[in-house]
Structure 1
Amino acid sequence: MGTIISMSTGTGSERGGSAALTIGIDVGGTSIRASVVDSAGEVLDSLQSPTPASAKALENGLDRAVRELSARHEVAAVGLAVAGFITPDRTTVRFAPHLPWVGAPVGRDLGQRLGLPVILEHDVNAAAWAEHRFGAAAGGRNVVMLAIGTGIGAALLADGRLYRGSHGVAPELGHIQVVPDGRPCACGKHGCWERYCSGTALVDTAIELLAADPATSTVLAREVAVDPGVLTGRRIAGAAQDGDPLALETMREFARWLGVGLALIGDVYDPDLVVIAGGVASSSPLFIDEAREHYAALTTGAGHRPLARIRPTQLGEAAGMIGAAELARAVLPDRVG
Structure 2
Amino acid sequence: MNAVGVVDVGSTNLSYAAATPAGEFLTAVESEPTRPDELCTQLERVVETLTAAASLEAVSIVTPGLVDADRGSVRRFDTADGDVIERIEIAAPLRDRCGLPVFLENDCTASALGEWRFGAREDQACVIQLTVGTGIGGGVVERGRLLRGETGGAGEFGLIPVAPDSRLESAGVTGAWEAFCSGRGIPSYVRHRYRVDEVWDENAVGEFRETLAADEEFAAPAVFEAAAAGDPFAQTCLDRVNRYNAVGIAALCNAYEPGLVTLGGSVALNNADWFLEGVDRYLEEYLFVDRPTIRESPLDEELGLYGALSVALERTE
TM-score w.r.t. the length of structure 1 is: 0.81
The number of equivalent residue pairs is: 309
Pick closer, same or farther for the CA change 1:261–1:36 going to 2, 3 Å.
Answer: same
Partner of 2:93: 109
- 8 Å Cα contact 1:266/1:299 also seen in 2: yes
- 8 Å Cα contact 2:7/2:305 also seen in 1: yes
Tell me the alpha carbon deviations over residues 118-154 of structure 1, each in whole angstroms, 9 at most, x when there is no partner: 1001011222222222223454321222211232112
Q: How well do the aligned residues superpose, as a CA RMSD in angstroms?
A: 2.6
| Alpha-carbon distance, 1:22 to partner | 0.8
Pick closer, same or farther for the CA change 1:241–1:140 going to 2, 3 Å.
Answer: farther
Partner of 2:30: 47
Larger Rg: 1
Pick closer, same or farther for the CA change 1:292–1:225 going to 2, 3 Å.
Answer: closer
Q: Does 1:151 align with 2:135?
A: yes
| Alpha-carbon distance, 1:276 to partner | 1.7
SS of the counterpart of 2:271? helix
- 8 Å Cα contact 1:178/1:193 also seen in 2: yes
Q: Does 1:287 align with 2:275?
A: yes
Partner of 2:297: 313
User: Please, which runs of 5 or more residues in structure 1 have no aligned partner?
Assistant: 1-18
Q: Percent identity?
A: 31
| Cα distance in structure 2, aligned partners of 1:60 and 1:83 | 17
Of 77, 80, 83, which aligns to 1:96? 77
| Alpha-carbon distance, 1:253 to partner | 0.9
- 8 Å Cα contact 1:82/1:122 also seen in 2: yes
| Cα distance in structure 1, aligned partners of 2:292 and 2:18 | 33
Tell me the alpha carbon deviations over residues 284-306 of structure 1, each in whole angstroms, 9 at most, x when there is no partner: 21132231232212223xxxx52
Larger displacement relative to structure 2 (133-142 or 105-114)? 133-142
Q: Which amino acid aligns with 1:67?
A: E
Partner of 2:13: 31
Q: Does 1:82 align with 2:63?
A: yes
SS of the counterpart of 1:271? coil
| Alpha-carbon distance, 1:205 to partner | 4.2
Pick closer, same or farther for the CA change 1:114–1:197 going to 2, 3 Å.
Answer: same
| Cα distance in structure 2, aligned partners of 1:108 and 1:143 | 32
SS of the counterpart of 1:43? coil
Partner of 1:257: 244
- 8 Å Cα contact 2:115/2:129 also seen in 1: no
Partner of 1:192: 176
- 8 Å Cα contact 1:143/1:158 also seen in 2: yes
Larger displacement relative to structure 2 (253-262 or 189-198)? 189-198
| Cα distance in structure 2, aligned partners of 1:175 and 1:321 | 24
| Alpha-carbon distance, 1:77 to partner | 0.7
Pick closer, same or farther for the CA change 1:190–1:39 going to 2, 3 Å.
Answer: same
Of 127, 144, 160, which aligns to 2:144? 160
